[in-house]
Amino acid sequence: MPGSTIWPTHRYCSLQAASPRVSSASASASSTAPARMSSASLAKALVALAAVAAVAELAAAKTHTIQWSLGANYGDWSNSNAVNVGDTVVFTYSSPHTVDELSQADYTACSFGSPVSTDQSGSTSVTFDKAGTRYFACAAAGGSHCSQGQKVAITVGASSSSPAGQSPPATPSGNSAAASMVPGAGELAMKLALGLGVGGALLAAF
């Protein structure tokens, strides 16, 4: 008819076919966004849990002090003092004493020909990173201090948490082998700060 416009049918069909494709792409993008957000939230939660677990383990570690001298009875030390993985034992002593770590056989024989390690600084710190029994003795006076009882076998438990309600053993009068079971406040604060700092840095990375 005069004055009327006739649109080509193929153009109309093309426009009609294109519309569903745009809608499909939008729907796909909308459904993917929540999934990505969910994955990021899960990753953050896992990192936070790992950081909390690390801080808790550090906080549970203890420092035990042994006053290392001749004449004390160290035979029952490991039985009356619970040492666990992550704990530290500090030997404090004066000259001429030493702290030598030995194999079980050398410990039994008080033989110092091939020690695992030796120290005579006056303050020997040993941190235990795995369970098991380790052996320490004094090599002074040709090993006679060891023969007279200045040696200790420390059995380390797998867990760094103490049983509920367990209290430190009392200090026997006149026995310098008693351990102070109180954690070092400065060392504990440093460990906590380190654990929290690492956890915060990991969370900030997401």
pLDDT (0 to 100) of residue 182: 36
Residue given tokens 């369970």 in the structure block = 131
pLDDT (0 to 100) of residue 170: 31
Quick: pLDDT tens for 14-46. Answer: 445 444 554 555 555 555 555 555 776 766 656
Q: How far is CA 114 from CA 26, 102, 110, 118, 134, in A?
A: 74, 8, 11, 10, 15
Cα gap 107→120, rounded to integer Å: 18
Quick: pLDDT tens for 89-124. Answer: 999 999 999 999 999 999 999 999 999 999 999 999
pLDDT (0 to 100) of residue 77: 80
Give, for 91, the enclosing helix (H) or strand (E).
strand 88-92
CATH architecture entry for 62-161+176-182: Sandwich (2.60)
pLDDT (0 to 100) of residue 122: 98
pLDDT exceeds 80 at position 50: no
Domain coordinates of the chain in residue numbers? 62-161+176-182
pLDDT exceeds 80 at position 204: no
Quick: pLDDT tens for 117-167. Answer: 999 999 999 999 999 999 999 999 999 999 999 999 999 998 654 443 343
pTM above threshold 0.85: no
> Which has the closest alpha carbon to 154: 74, 63, 86?
74
pLDDT (0 to 100) of residue 32: 56
pLDDT (0 to 100) of residue 119: 98
Query: What is the rounded end-to-end Cα distance, in angstroms, of the chain?
Result: 66
